[in-house]
């Protein structure tokens, strides 16, 4: 027969194992989410590479954002930024 202390120790050990298993599952889920977002972002960028063919003079690279065909690039950048903010906030919230 086990004593009360042995039972409590076994109970705490099992609870720790369950927490670690849940944490691995969450980390794997976040990794999959990040991989999916990366694939979507790369797909968007690759799909829009033929949109912009502006001859640029030296020193006027920033002016390329004034073109009509760069809306997709700006959208992809904004979406990537928001995805990063959401993932960061979720991780910080999870750790607290």
68-87 pLDDT, tens digit each: 666 777 778 888 899 998 99
Dist. CA 23–CA 57, nearest whole Å = 52
When mean pLDDT is compared across 18-27, 58-67, 86-95, the lowest value belongs to: 58-67
Buried-exposed string 49-67: b where 16+ CB fall within 10 A, e elsewhere = eeeeeeeeeeeeeeeeeee
Q: Which residue has the tokens 């927490």?
A: 19
* Tens of pLDDT, residues 18-60: 999 999 999 999 889 889 988 888 887 777 665 555 555 555 5
Q: Cβ distance 45 to 76 under 8 Å? A: yes
Q: Structure pTM?
A: 0.45
83 vs 42: CA distance, rounded Å: 14
């Amino acid at each position: 027969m086990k004593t009360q202390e042995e039972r409590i120790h076994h109970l705490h050990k099992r609870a720790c194992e369950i927490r670690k298993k849940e944490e691995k599952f969450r980390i794997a889920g976040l990794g999959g989410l990040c991989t999916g977002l990366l694939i979507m972002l790369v797909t968007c960028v690759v799909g829009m590479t033929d949109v912009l063919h502006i001859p640029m003079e030296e020193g006027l690279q920033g002016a390329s954002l004034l073109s009509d065909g760069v809306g997709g690039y700006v959208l992809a950048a904004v979406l990537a930024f928001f995805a990063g903010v959401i993932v960061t906030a979720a991780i910080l919230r999870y750790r607290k």
